Amino acid sequence: ARGYVVEEGEIRHHPGEDLTYKFASGGMISTAEDLVRLGAVLLEGRLLRPETLEEMFRPALE
């Protein structure tokens, strides 16, 4: 994924920012298309075992 900005009326490549200080894991930078593909394989059970997927959605604080 590449980011872009509009500067002085021109579209230019934006190298991005270091987001590791904002998010514990550094966050995720992706395209919308790739996020949809990730969601699909997760929901279809093609990427993780059911137990692993359940753990992902288990509340951290109970």
pLDDT digits (tens, 9 = 90+) for 3-50: 888 999 999 988 877 666 666 665 677 889 999 999 999 989 999 999
- 58 versus 1: the higher-pLDDT residue is 58
Q: How far is CA 32 from CA 8, 26, 38, 44, 51, in A?
A: 27, 18, 10, 18, 27
20 contact partners, CB below 8 Å, separation of at least 6 = 26, 27
Q: What's the predicted TM-score (pTM) here?
A: 0.49
Looking at residue 57, its pLDDT comes to 85
Calculate the CA 8 to chain-centre distance.
Answer: 30
Instruction: Measure CA of the first residue to CA of the last residue in the chain; give whole Å.
Output: 36
- Whether the CB-CB separation of 20 and 26 falls below 8 Å is answered with yes
